């Protein structure tokens, strides 16, 4: 492997994400496959990229203390400094002098001697003087914003919605690594046998309390388990598994998954139905609908029919009251999944949330007519914003007297969730700090 290749790759990904709007998780996966990194280097590459993006605002605050405000620097130079400072501040694996040396060498290869001298000067200054203290920041919202690297508008919005304690816990939890959880295909393997086999393969695992099919992976790269290659496991966050659990779909039912890609919940629904009945899965993009079909084949689930369509127009394809169950996992801001996709928090704004909430209300309005009387409709999102969750449900119920929140769904929740901070008359908001999961909202409506 070429010298400095790991950190050069990390820098390339950071520039593509930071300057060109690339998706970090996709670029990391591509780089790992292309470069042939070993397991240790994979972990370090992921740590540097995610950590640097996750802490971008904090690192920028640090850099401002060592940079002449009138000095203009190229984007890649700024990301190289962020990346270097992240390692110096938050990682203990490599000594500072080695980080500085490698950064200077990369600067020489990417730029010229003047840039490498500039990089060396900044990082040596950081090494000599240390990083600035957050205590210097007096404003509470600004301090939390910089210390936890969340945009100020977002911190202020969460403070208004949830208060200081919840906002602070949410911001700090978003900086932690998210544990991986998987779902067992129950028609191929029991969870007990899956747990046993994974332990025999050297993984540290435990049963999820969110779903009878769920397993939490405490340590080990479970993607390399033989169970994946035979369609017995699916990567899925525990909170996401709740959607199919709460939908209560059974064999022979006709089910609609209105926004189905990438197919985790769709295939889970089919598994809950023992692969008997009909699951009609739609997505706005044909490429994503094909992903759902592909995943169904991998899991040997034959009742899923995945197609492209705008679910706001499904009433043109189906008669009213066609479905026994409907899952609307609505497109959302993704502000509940910032641990796994940290770049989201820098790209979203209030206008995005407002636009999405309109789409969410339209989707709910349109698919509701397709639900049979006595049927159940689960509305879910992977965000923690009330405008996309409670407000959408409230607005819908205000205009549809034949629908109501199904109180029984609370009784069907795992015991630990019944005591969650986010349980309200409108549904369940799970915060990422509560159970070390994604932030997720769901509720179940019934039709009279």
Residue 51 annotated as lining a ligand binding site: no
Phi and psi, residue 312, nearest 5°: -70, -10
Residue 332 annotated as lining a ligand binding site: no
Residue 240 annotated as lining a ligand binding site: no
Residue 249 annotated as lining a ligand binding site: no
In this structure, what token pair is assigned to residue 169?
């816990």
Neighbouring CB atoms inside 10 A of 205's CB total: 23
Neighbouring CB atoms inside 10 A of 61's CB total: 20
Told to judge if 382 belongs to the known catalytic residues of this protein, a careful annotator would answer yes
Q: Which of 328, 327, 330, 340 is nearest to 438 (CA)?
A: 340
Residue 95 annotated as lining a ligand binding site: no
Query: Which is it for strands 254-257 and 278-283: parallel, antiparallel or unpaired?
Result: parallel
Instruction: Report how far residue 210's alpha carbon sits from residue 376's, in angstroms, rounded to the nearest whole number.
Output: 20
Residue 283 annotated as lining a ligand binding site: yes
Looking up tokens 């929740």 gives: 413
Residue 436 annotated as lining a ligand binding site: no
CB contact at 8 A, 384 and 169: no
- Which residues have CB under 8 Å from 201's CB, separation 6+? 220, 225, 226
Residue 220 annotated as lining a ligand binding site: no
Instruction: Report how far residue 51's alpha carbon sits from residue 93's, in angstroms, rounded to the nearest whole number.
Output: 14
Catalytic annotation, pick one of 382, 392, 428, 445: 382
In this structure, what token pair is assigned to residue 273?
């139905």
Residue 264 annotated as lining a ligand binding site: yes
Residue 96 annotated as lining a ligand binding site: no
Instruction: Report how far residue 217's alpha carbon sits from residue 211's, in angstroms, rounded to the nearest whole number.
Output: 14
In this structure, what token pair is assigned to residue 98?
């080695």
Instruction: Output Rg (C-alpha) for the chain, integer angstroms.
Output: 24
Binding positions for S-adenosyl-L-methionine are 259-265, 283, 310, 329
Catalytic residue numbers, as ranges: 382
């Amino acid at each position: 492997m070429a010298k400095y290749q790991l950190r050069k790759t990390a820098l390339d990904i950071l520039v593509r994400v930071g300057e060109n709007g690339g998706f970090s998780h996709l670029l990391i996966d591509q780089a790992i496959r292309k470069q042939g990194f070993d397991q240790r280097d994979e972990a370090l590459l992921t740590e540097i990229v995610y950590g640097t993006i996750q802490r971008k605002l904090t690192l920028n605050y640090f850099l401002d203390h060592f940079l002449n405000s009138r000095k203009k620097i190229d984007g890649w130079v700024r990301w190289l400094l962020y990346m270097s400072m992240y390692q110096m501040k938050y990682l203990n694996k490599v000594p500072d002098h080695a980080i500085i040396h490698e950064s200077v060498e990369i600067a020489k290869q990417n730029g010229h001697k003047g840039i490498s001298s500039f990089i060396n000067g900044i990082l040596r200054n950081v090494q000599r003087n240390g990083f600035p203290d957050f205590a210097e920041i007096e404003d509470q919202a600004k301090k939390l914003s910089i210390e936890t690297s969340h945009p100020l508008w977002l911190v202020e919005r969460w403070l208004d919605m949830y208060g200081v304690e919840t906002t602070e816990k949410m911001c700090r939890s978003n900086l932690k690594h998210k544990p991986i959880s998987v779902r067992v295909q129950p028609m191929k393997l029991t969870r007990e046998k899956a747990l046993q086999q994974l332990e025999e393969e050297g993984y540290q695992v435990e049963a999820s309390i969110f779903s009878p099919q769920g397993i939490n992976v405490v340590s080990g790269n479970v993607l390399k388990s033989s169970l994946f290659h035979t369609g017995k496991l699916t990567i899925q966050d525990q909170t996401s598994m709740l959607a199919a659990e709460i939908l209560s779909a059974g064999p022979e039912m006709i089910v609609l998954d209105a926004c189905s890609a990438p197919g985790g919940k769709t295939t889970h629904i089919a598994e809950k139905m023992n692969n008997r009945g009909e699951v009609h899965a739609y997505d706005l993009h044909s490429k994503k609908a094909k992903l759902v079909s592909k995943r169904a084949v991998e899991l040997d689930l034959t009742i899923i029919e995945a197609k492209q369509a705008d679910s706001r127009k499904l009433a043109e394809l189906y008669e009213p009251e066609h479905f026994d169950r409907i899952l609307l996992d609505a497109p959302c801001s993704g502000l509940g999944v910032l641990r796994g996709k940290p770049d989201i928090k820098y790209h979203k704004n209030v206008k995005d949330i407002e636009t999405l909430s309109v789409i969410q209300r339209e989707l709910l309005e349109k698919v509701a007519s397709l639900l049979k009387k006595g049927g159940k409709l689960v509305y879910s999102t992977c965000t923690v914003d009330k405008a996309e969750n409670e407000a959408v449900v409230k607005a819908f119920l205000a205009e549809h007297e034949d629908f109501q929140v199904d109180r029984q769904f609370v009784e069907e929740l795992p015991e630990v969730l019944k005591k969650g901070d986010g349980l309200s008359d409108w549904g369940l908001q799970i915060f990422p700090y509560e159970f070390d999961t994604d932030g997720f909202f769901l509720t179940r409506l019934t039709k009279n």
